[in-house]
Amino acid sequence: MTSPSGSGTREDWPVDLGLTPAEEELDMSRRNLLRGLGLAGIAAAAGTLGLISYRDEAEAATVAGAGGASGEEHQWCRVVDLRACKGERKCVSACQVRHGLSPDQTWMRTLSWHDEAGNEFFMPVMCQMCQDPPCLKVCPVSATTKSDQGVILVDQDICIGSRACMAACPYEARYFNWSEPTPTHKMPAPSPNTPEFPSNQLGTVGKCVLCADRIPYSSDLPACVEACPRGAHFIGDLVTDVAVNGQSTVRLSTFLREGNAVRFKEELGTNPRCYYIPGNGQPVGGPLVGVK
């Protein structure tokens, strides 16, 4: 078992330090008592400020390995062209292979359903890389971070497995390691185990990382993008306004506009960074009635 990382650089919990002198002086003179209480109050107040800054740290955490590029240079997003998706689920298996996932863990999953007329629809769903991620807010230990290039990642070495993020995610995009990942499901060696390329650990939460270890995607695209034979998956950059699916390159803003792109569960205010291009007549946002 490992101890929580990062504790060395942070301030120790100051309230304990403050309370102890206060307690020791309980039996001394009143002046000492009051002084002790005052110290406790000051220490607690300092602790308050320290803790509030933790939150800012969590928000401002940056992803290393992007070649030092800042958020002004790239803002990654993805586009799923539902007109092209035929439910082959090659993206799903490519993702599972690359990240060493067990069969029940589908960081990328493809919903499928029929309408009344019998038409079948498909919709790949994965982490939507929300810019106001509900999962980030609820994490009690700031294990979920947002990079300044807009990628949401989980630090497997900090996660305490509270699964608050699984509850908070409106896209059901998070998966928990309920049992020890078997050796065949471990990462292809050598596993760097960074938030960008996490190795699966018992008792922690994983999700789509947008193959962030491949940022800025100049030689390799995310596994799902490369795997789709129909070019349904795009990786894009909002700043340079370019998106590719491994087969062709598009001007992102034009592509989204002309395709009437929409975002999933827009009404929740999560500002997802995943755009869906409908076009087969399917309702956006998945099936309207339960898939049984």
Partner 1 sequence: MSSILDARPASGQADVVDAVMRPFRRPSARFWLAIAMLAVVVGVGIGAWVYQLREGMGVAGYTDSSFWSIYIADVVAVIGVSYGGAVVSAILLLTGASWRAPLVRMSEGAALVTVIVGALFVIPHLGRPDRLLGMITSANVASPVFWDMMAIVTYTFATLVFFLLPLVPDTAILLSARPEELGRGRRLLFHVISRGWVGSAHQRRVLHSAMVIVAIVIIPLAVSVHSVLAWAFALVSRPGWHESIWAPYFVIAALYSGVALVILVIAGFRRGYHLEAFIGRQHFVRLGYIMVALGAVYVYLTLADLLPSAYVGEAGPTEIIYGMLQGAVAGWFWLFLVAGTILPIVLIALPWTRNIWGVVIAAVLVVIGMWIKRVIMIVETSGYDTLAKSFDELFHFTWVSIAVTLGGVAAIPLMLMLLFRVVPLMSVAEVQEVLAEADDTAAEPSHPGAQSRGRAVGAAGAVVLLMLTLGALGVTEAQPAYAASEGVAATDPAADATVAVTAAEDGPSITVTATVTSGGSPVEGALVNFYESTTMFAPGDNEVPLGAVQTDSSGSAVVTYVAATTGPRTVSASYRPTILGDPVVGTAELEVTESVSTYAPPPTSTLEGAGKTLTTATFGLVIIVFLILIAQVVRVRRACRPASDGTPEQALTS
> Contacts with partner 1 in 135-164 (CB under 8 A)?
137-143, 158-164
Contact (CB, 8 A) for 174 and 168: no
Decide: is 291 part of the binding site for partner 1 (CB under 8 A). Answer: yes
Decide: is 63 part of the binding site for partner 1 (CB under 8 A). Answer: no
**Segment 181 to 200, residues that bind partner 1, using CB under 8 A:** none
Contact (CB, 8 A) for 232 and 244: no
Q: What is the size of the binding site for partner 1 (CB under 8 A)?
A: 113
**Shortest distance (Å) from residue 268 CB to partner 1:** 6
Q: Which is nearer to partner 1, 128 or 190 (CB)?
A: 128
Compute CA 279 distance to the chain's CA centroid, rounded to the nearest angstrom. 28
**Segment 239 to 268, residues that bind partner 1, using CB under 8 A:** 239-242, 244-245, 247-255, 268
**Shortest distance (Å) from residue 191 CB to partner 1:** 18
Contact with partner 1 (CB under 8 A) among 168, 187, 262, 284 = 168
Alpha helices in 78-219 (DSSP H): 90-98, 134-138, 164-168
Does an H or E element contain 58, and which? Answer: helix 30-60
Decide: is 93 part of the binding site for partner 1 (CB under 8 A). Answer: no
Contact with partner 1 (CB under 8 A) among 70, 178, 182, 186 = 178
Contact with partner 1 (CB under 8 A) among 21, 203, 262, 284 = 203
**Segment 118 to 137, residues that bind partner 1, using CB under 8 A:** 120, 122, 125, 131-132, 134, 137
Decide: is 62 part of the binding site for partner 1 (CB under 8 A). Answer: no
Whole-Å CA distances, 42 to 33, 54, 228, 276, 288: 14, 19, 58, 52, 55
**Shortest distance (Å) from residue 262 CB to partner 1:** 15
**Shortest distance (Å) from residue 98 CB to partner 1:** 18
- Alpha-carbon torsion, ordered 133, 137, 142, 147, to 10 deg: 30
Decide: is 269 part of the binding site for partner 1 (CB under 8 A). Answer: yes
Decide: is 23 part of the binding site for partner 1 (CB under 8 A). Answer: yes
Alpha carbons within 13 angstroms on the beta-carbon side of residue 1 total 4
Q: Which is nearer to partner 1, 193 or 230 (CB)?
A: 230
Q: What is the largest CA-CA distance in the chain?
A: 85
d(CA 255, CA 279): 13
d(CA 251, CA 237): 10
Whole-Å CA distances, 196 to 100, 113, 153, 233: 14, 32, 7, 20
Contact with partner 1 (CB under 8 A) among 20, 88, 93, 185 = 88
Contact with partner 1 (CB under 8 A) among 60, 172, 188, 283 = 172
d(CA 208, CA 191): 16
Single out the segment in contact with partner 1 by CB under 8 A; choices: 92-100, 182-190, 192-200, 234-242: 234-242
